Amino acid sequence: MDDWEKNIVCAGKCEHCDSLLDPKQKRILSVYDHKVICMVCKKIEEQKSDYEDVSKAMIADCIKKTDRPYGNPGGFCFHHFCPYKC
């Protein structure tokens, strides 16, 4: 497992609003800072005016870094757009 996976897969709380995350609760990664956030914070993020631009830049960047195709469920990029559980 890569380092980022160890750190995020079972994070106990949202890193943006500090609300507790149950292991069975869905969480997702922020496209802005790659932190684990709850679905409420994701909604807030999606409404930012630069969200689309930041998302595109993030995808390009992480495909380059991870060398895994976007949409691969094991890939870093995937967790920014598809909620996952612990």
Footprint of Zn ion (CB under 5 A): 14, 16-17, 38, 41
Query: Nearest distance from residue 31's CB to Zn ion, in Å?
Result: 14
Nearer to Zn ion, 16 or 76 (CB): 16
Work out how close the CB of 7 gets to Zn ion at its nearest, in angstroms, rounded to a whole number.
Answer: 17
- For 41, the token pair is 């914070």
Closest alpha carbon to 80 in 50, 58, 47? 58
DSSP one-letter code for 27? B
**Residue 24 or 64 having the CB closest to Zn ion:** 24
H/E element, 46: helix 39-46
